[in-house]
A and B are shown apart, each in its own frame.
Chain A
Amino acid sequence: MDAQVSGARPILPLQLGEIWIAIDAGIVLELLGAKTWMRVPGASPQLPGILSWRSRAIAVLDLRETLALGGTPTNPPPRTVVAQVDDCTFAFFVDVAREARVVDPEQLRAPHVVTGRFVTHELALDGRVMPIVDVAAMIAAVSRGPVESA
């Protein structure tokens, strides 16, 4: 059945260090391997730099910083996720990206295990509880300036 008709939604499970999260797969444009990036002096901690993608410069979103996960990311981060929200294209780094999955609304529940400003739901998947992170809301928040760690 078509996901739009059933209310099901595609999500993309991602691993950041010890943490698994899931995001709306609909915003993802491309999954890449490690990409070099450059810090921009004076940039905010949540959007600390840029990288080159398809012959253009796009913003780098620091998911760890924005989600207040802490820890030292692997350098260079092994996977690069390129995403788009409205007319903003940006990239962020993760350690592992699994295949996108379609989940039914009944599988989603209110966040209990992991809570935070950008966590909308949580989901039990493959024996793990994953917070669903609203990256679009995150981009809207950080574009207004530095945000308090979520």
Chain B
Amino acid sequence: MKPARSIEPPVDAISFLVVAGDRACRWGVDITHVETVIEGATAFRVVDVERLGVPTDAGDDVPVRVVQLRADGQRAGVAVRGRLTVATVRRTDVHALPALVVATMRHGAFSGVALADDDIAFLILDVEAALQEAA
């Protein structure tokens, strides 16, 4: 019998669940905070990510999914539209948002950014901010 292949990312890498809608904003969440993805579920608290400024392609004819997040014993769902993919990036490609941008933000749904091929790959959702929004 072949040994099962590990699905763990390399130690120097982090996997993200990435939401890529039709709008310019792509964002991802550290997959260790993702409990499950449910098609159309509404049975638990859902974060209003638009209040956090996250584009959700609202009104577009795209199915809604709920990504259930967990951190420090708290749980909340984030309703998303758009394609979901998994991206694994090196830790060295994960950066905080520039202090200049953070200092002037009206609200902060994102804590960082992942780079790839000298380009912005996606923004990284601040899970704590999302859970606080749901609380």
Interface residues of A (CB under 8 A from B): 36-44, 46-47, 49-52, 55-59, 88-90, 139, 142-143, 145-146
Are B95 and A56 within 8 A (Cβ)? Answer: yes
- Does the CB pair A40–B97 fall under 8 Å? yes
- State the Cβ distance, A47 to closest chain B Cβ, in Å: 5
B115 A37 Cβ-Cβ under 8 A: no
* Centre residue among B24, B104, B105, B119 by max chain A CB count within 10 A: B104
Given the interface pairs A51-B120, A55-B118, the reply to whether A40 lies near B101 with Cβ below 8 Å is: yes
Best-surrounded residue of A51, A57, A89 (most CB of chain B within 10 A): A57
Contacts of B105 in A (CB 8 A): 40, 42-44
Complex CA gap A49/B102 in Å reads 10
> For residue B53, which residue of chain A has the nearest CB?
A41
Across the interface, do B109 and A59 meet the contact criterion of CB distance under 8 Å? no
B108-121 Cβ-contact flags toward A at 8 Å (1 or 0): 11100101001110
In the complex, per-residue mask of B1-37: 1 if CB is within 8 Å of any chain A CB, else 0: 0000000000000000000000011100000000000
What residues of A have a CB within 8 angstroms of the CB of B104 in the complex? 43-44, 46-47, 142-143, 145-146
> Most chain-A CB neighbours within 10 Å: which of B26, B107, B115?
B115
Total chain B interface residues with beta-carbon distance under 8 A = 30
Q: Does B52 contact A (CB under 8 A)?
A: yes
A44, B106: Cβ atoms under 8 Å? yes
| B98 contacts chain A at the CB level, 8 A cutoff | yes
In the assembled complex, B103 has its CB within 8 A of some CB on chain A: yes
Complex contacts, B115 vs chain A, CB 8 Å: 52, 55-57
Distance (whole angstroms) from the CB of B103 to the closest CB of chain A: 6
Closest 3 CB pairs of A and B: A41-B53, A42-B53, A44-B104
Interface string of B45-74 (1 = CB under 8 A from A): 000000011110000000000000000000
